Structure 1
Amino acid sequence: MIDYRLLQAMAAVLEQGGFEKAAQALNLTQSAVSQRIKQLEQQLGQPVLIRSLPPRATALGQRLHNHLQQVRQLEAGLELSANPDDLIIRITVNADSLDTWLPAALVLNTYPLLRFEVSVEDQAVGLRRMKQGEVMACLCASADPVNGGAVIPLGVMRYRALASPEFIQRYQLSAGESAHLQQAPCLVYSRDDRLQHQFLADVAGIEPLYTHHLPSSEGFIRAACAGLGYGMMPELQVRPELEQGLLVDLVPGYSLDVPLYWHYWQMESPVMETLRHSVVTAARQALY
């Protein structure tokens, strides 16, 4: 059985950004903190920290830190913890949800001191962090739950293939010829982003030849408005640009609906249950 005093020492080093500050937070000497972490690593037979500046968790350390956070949540739900400020919720979400409807769902009045650590992955691959035990919940496009997990559908996010009017004129895309589409550069959020590929496959049975990689949801839209390329953008996020005529459809009437799902562990703490209900409520108000 793991000694939770040792886990708390490891967590303090990660959360405080170093051994000295961890010692101050735990009212221990720096040597005592180091000894507890060494004892934990000896018990497990492998390191839990990378001794960098600041220290970082190994893959095992991340899973243990996540586990400790779940224990803290359960204690808070049972009113056994006097430190709700210690709660850190680690979730993985897709960038387009984070830039549109999701932030409102993270405001939980029941837990005003709750802290979030949000990692961003493409909606097609975000579930891998949950499978690795790094996060407590995941928002992604996969409907298949992980072992020990459950999943609930949230709705669909609608994407449209958009570009600036000048871009369409420059590449003669209004003609609708597949050769013109293939020659025109497209915008891709990351190497996992395949929405543009799906669009071209649907309308012309081809693959893009030229891509710009832009890992910023807002930068993606600004680049399209500037005429750098075309891309698949969430209708929810680009309504002002559509109304102003800054962006127009490459293929009028075409849209691609991406389903979104909330993944959570079946052994759910009261904090995570509250978060899940908030996410579901926000999604039903924003998504199709």
Structure 2
Amino acid sequence: MLNYKLLEALAAVIDQAGFERGARALGLTQSAVSQRIKLLEARLGQPVLVRTPRLGPTPLGRRLLNHVQQVRLLEHDLLDQIPALGDSEQRLRIAINADSLATWWPQVTGAFCQTHELLLDMLVEDQEVALKRMRDGEVAGCICSTPRPVQGARSHPLGSMRYRALASPDFVRRHIAGEDGVIPSRLPAEKLRSMPAIVYGRDDRLQHRLLAEMGFDEPFPHHLCPSSEGFVHLALSGMGYGMIPEQQARHLLDSGELVDIAPDHALDIPLYWHHWRHGGSTLEQLTDHLLRHCSAMLLPIPEQQPPRPGTL
């Protein structure tokens, strides 16, 4: 029989990214949490954590974390039916990309969370790598660009987000437009090689994909900006051009504050909702809600170009 006090110690250390913060979350001393982890490892006969170079779960630890998260969700279902058993506060831990969080996600999920008194712990991850959080047992669901689910989970297509290469008029004048002020239909390699781009983070490959479609595969200068709001502000300031969701920038395009520098190369990025098969009724209800409402906020996933498993 599993000792859930030991499993809660493991979950707290991973959730809080450290023994000290994990102990504080449990109301225990760091020494007590360390002893629980050691006892768990002794009973299982193998480690559940990798401590260096970076704290993280072992393969066995990931399986245990998945189990703990699912037990929490199932316990909430039971507490809803039998309130006398204890506190029925429900928290759901998910991984979501910053651009979804900045555009359609609040409008789609706001009313649902209020109705179901659901609290969300949202880990912001690029849509290409969010599934790793689920595979590692850290989240019960995630938004990502990969259709293939991890073992024990389901995947549902939500729709696509359209990204456009946008820059300020001042940036266009300095780096792109000819003497007549016109943006060329095909940007020459020397311009792509020299003008600075804005990239969200190390895992963000949208800019690379755009340039590959334009026939350019060389290194390019770029700013790194891991903030969806900051990304737009950098573009508005003229510091660089970047792939920005059309939803987020539509009013800026309409006002002329941003300009599409590659109108023939918009990228439609598919989004999929992944969740555990046995995650309880709240997770199932959230899934049904997303599938009913996302079609009004996102573009269809093109059938003629089915997304491939893996990174973009």
Do they superpose with TM above 0.5?
Answer: yes
Paired amino acid for 1:235: E
Cα displacement string for residues 74-114 of structure 1 (whole angstroms, at most 9, x for unaligned residues): 122233553222x33221111100111112315424431x3
Which of 260, 268, 277 lines up with 2:288 in the alignment?
277
Residue in structure 1 matching 2:113, options 108, 111, 120: 108
Residue identity in the other structure for 1:83: D
- TM-score normalized with structure 2 length: 0.77
Offset from partner CA, 1:196-230 (integer Å, 9 cap, x none)? 11112212444352111111111111001100110
Residue identity matched to 1:100: T
Say whether residues 1:143 and 2:147 are aligned partners.
yes
Distance 1:123 1:246 in 2: 27
Indicate whether 1:93 and 2:104 are aligned. no
Q: Which residue of structure 1 aligns with residue 44 of structure 2?
A: 44
| Partner AA of 1:254 in structure 2 | H
Query: Number of residues paired by the alignment?
Result: 278
**Candidates 213, 218, 227, aligned match of 2:238:** 227
Residues 71-86 of structure 1 aligned to structure 2 (within 5 Å): 71-78=71-78, 79-80=81-82, 82-85=86-89
List aligned pairs for 1:146-165, cutoff 5 A. 146-165=150-169
Does residue 131 (structure 1) correspond to residue 142 (structure 2)? The answer is: no
Moved more, 141-150 or 74-83: 74-83
Which position in structure 2 is the counterpart of 1:177?
188
> How far did residue 41 of structure 1 move?
3.4
Q: CA RMSD in A?
A: 3.0
**Contact persistence 1:48–1:59 (CA under 8 A):** yes
CA distance in structure 2 between the partners assigned to 1:33 and 1:251 by the alignment: 54
Range with bigger deviation, 194-203 or 39-48: 39-48
How far the C-alpha of 1:132 sits from its partner, in A, is 2.0
Q: Distance in 2 between matches of 1:161 and 1:30?
A: 49
What is the DSSP-based 3-state SS (H/G/I as helix, E as strand, rest coil) of the residue aligned with 1:108?
helix
Deviations 1:57-87 (A, max 9, x none): 74156654453232121122233553222x3
- Separation in structure 1 between the aligned mates of residue 24 and residue 243 of structure 2, nearest angstrom: 48
- Equivalent pair of 2:163/2:246 in contact (CA under 8 Å): yes
Kindly tell me: are residues 20 and 219 of structure 1, through their superposed partners in 2, closer, same or farther at Cα, counting changes over 3 Å? closer
Runs of at least 5 residues in structure 1 that lack an aligned partner in the other structure: none
Which stretch of structure 1 is more off in the superposition, 276-285 or 59-68?
59-68
Q: Does 1:240 align with 2:238?
A: no
TM-score by length of 1: 0.83
- Residues 1:33 and 1:279: Cα distance change in structure 2 (over 3 Å): same
Structure 1 match to 2:278: 267
Question: Which 10-residue stretch deviates more, 202-211 or 167-176?
Answer: 202-211
- C-alpha distance in structure 1 between counterparts of 2:262 and 2:34, whole Å: 61
Q: How far does residue 122 in structure 1 lie from its aligned partner after superposition?
A: 1.5
Report the more deviating stretch, 244-253 or 154-163: 244-253
1:163 alignment partner AA: A
Q: Secondary structure of 2:113's match? A: coil
Give the distance between the partners of 2:56 and 2:191, measured in 1 at CA: 48
Q: Provide the secondary structure at the position in 1 that maps to 2:123.
A: strand
- Pick closer, same or farther for the CA change 1:232–1:12 going to 2, 3 Å: closer
Q: 273-282 or 209-218: which moved more?
A: 273-282
Structure 1 position 162, deviation (Å): 0.7
Contact 2:6 2:40 (C-alpha < 8 Å) held by counterparts? yes
Residue 247 of structure 2 aligns to a residue in which SS?
Answer: coil
Residues in 1 aligned to 2:266 and 2:285: alpha-carbon distance in whole angstroms: 33
Kept in 2: contact 1:158–1:235 (CA 8 A): yes
- Cα distance in 2 for residues equivalent to 1:200 and 1:31: 52
**1:210 maps to which residue?**
221
For the Cα contact (< 8 Å) 1:149–1:266, is it kept in 2? yes
2:209 maps to what in 1? 198
